[in-house]
Amino acid sequence: MMRIRNVLIFPAGTEIGLEIFNALRHCKEVKLFGAGQDVSNHAKFIYEQYYTIPSIYDEKWLGTLIDLCISLKIDYIFPAYDDVIIALAKVRNKLPAVLLAPSESVCNITRSKSKTYSFLQHVVKVPQLFKGPEEVEKYPVFLKPDIGQGSTGVKKILNKQELISFLDKREGMIVSEYLPGEEYTVDCFSDREKGLLFCGARIRGRMRNGIAVNTRLIKLPGAYEFATKIGEALSLYGAWFFQLKRTEDGELTLLEVAPRIAGSMAAHRVSGINFPLLCIYEHERFPVQIQVNRCAIEMDRALYNRYRHSIDFDVVYVDLDDTLIFNNEVNVDIVKLIYQCINRSKKIVLITRHSGDLSRTLSTYRISGLFDQIVHLPPHEKKSKYIKESTAIFVDDSFSERLEVAIECGIFTFDSSMVELITNGSSNEQDL
């Protein structure tokens, strides 16, 4: 009998958490649970149940997490935010589930750039740090948070006066040599016995709030050597990544190391590296093999819509011409709606005035078996005449058809652009 692992993603609403969710949601070996603070976040829209845990700075957070893990029989916890990784690593021995993160000492080193550079300065090239303005002989320099992620809070400083001013205003900053070259992220996966099993570089094309929203896979000479040395020095295993930038002379230099999943690891995931699933296998000492589709990949990320709504229905009436079939192609958004409804045991009715041979058309487009019922109307017959159920919805490209059905039948009507409310949503009226 196949073993199902109960996996808790915490906090589930971060970009990291959402990538872990996307990587594992179709894995038959895994059942996913999401948890985090009681604040507005995307996880509440993608999990059937979202569990509330106080902030890690609240004294009740650990007890709440432990109780939740026990009640849900959680096997693994995936930390999905840098500060949470530290907090969980400190209490690892108290957790009733396996924490998929490295040791507390490694987490503490990698959370601080200055500690990372100090630890790895004799292993790989790291940036030169300056204790203060008096040590800087050449400008510009970089000013950035010692504890931070991505490019958040980084500022290029042009002169001594500007540096003094910013250091007076902000605490916890480090002053680093200026690295003007291209910036790279290198995604890695290591086995605790076999060492580095995967190392793949990507260039960070466009950033938003410190997150790479455009990234492209590249070959980066020298990245493998960096990865091997860093992984061995820090005893890293599972999924991790590091970032590099080039000096003025083009030399690769370390920016930071993170012992966790990265949100933009999706670019390598779609080529064959499911980092979260591999982390579970690595912990269980399952023999891991990696198969990569070697192809050019560029990933671009934008906002994605999810919905909650108060619509409850049992039957879908859908039009054919210009709705299910549009510009001589099957509208895959409507097919997605149909199959979601099939999965939820909802009745699917095709209602159409198609003027041609309907059976041949359905066969040509390979959609003849999708419907529980087909209503083929005469040219001028009103569709509302055939819609009897009060718990139905109606999908049609024509506004006049939708208006007539809405008035006569008193049901919700949709055009093709509106169905994402159903396909990307859930009926959860009590939360609205």
Which of 126, 120, 113, 117 lies closest to 251, judged by CA? 126
Per-residue CA distances from 74 to 52, 68, 98, 275 (Å): 15, 8, 8, 19
Residues ≥6 apart with Cβ < 8 Å to 121: none
Predicted local confidence at residue 278, as pLDDT: 95
Record: fold of 5-101: Rossmann fold (3.40.50)
- Output the six-digit token pair for 333: 């958004």
Predicted local confidence at residue 355, as pLDDT: 94
Predicted local confidence at residue 362, as pLDDT: 97
Q: Residue 283: in which H helix or E strand, if any? A: helix 275-283
Q: How many CB atoms lie within 10 A of CB 145?
A: 16
Q: What is the chain's pLDDT, residue by residue, as a tens digit (432 residues)?
A: 778 999 999 999 999 999 999 999 999 999 999 999 999 999 999 998 899 999 999 999 999 999 999 999 999 999 999 999 999 999 999 999 999 999 999 999 999 999 999 999 999 999 999 988 989 889 999 899 998 765 667 889 898 888 888 888 888 899 999 999 999 999 999 999 999 999 999 998 888 877 888 999 999 999 999 999 999 999 999 999 999 999 999 999 999 999 999 999 999 999 999 999 999 999 999 988 888 988 899 999 888 889 989 999 999 999 999 999 999 999 999 999 999 999 999 999 999 999 999 999 999 999 999 999 999 999 989 999 999 999 999 999 999 999 999 999 999 999 999 999 999 998 865 555
Rounded Cα–Cα distance for residues 120 and 123 (Å): 5
Record: fold of 128-177: Dna Ligase; domain 1 (3.30.1490)
Rounded Cα–Cα distance for residues 138 and 310 (Å): 62
Q: What is the pTM of this model?
A: 0.88
Record: fold of 307-431: Rossmann fold (3.40.50)
Which of 217, 187, 182, 215 lies closest to 199, judged by CA? 187
Sequence ranges of the chain with CATH classification 3.40.50.20: 5-101
Burial of 84 (0-12, 13-18, 19+ CB in 10 A): buried
- Paired residues of 300 in beta bridges: 214
Rounded Cα–Cα distance for residues 195 and 189 (Å): 9
Q: State the CATH architecture for 182-300.
A: 2-Layer Sandwich (3.30)
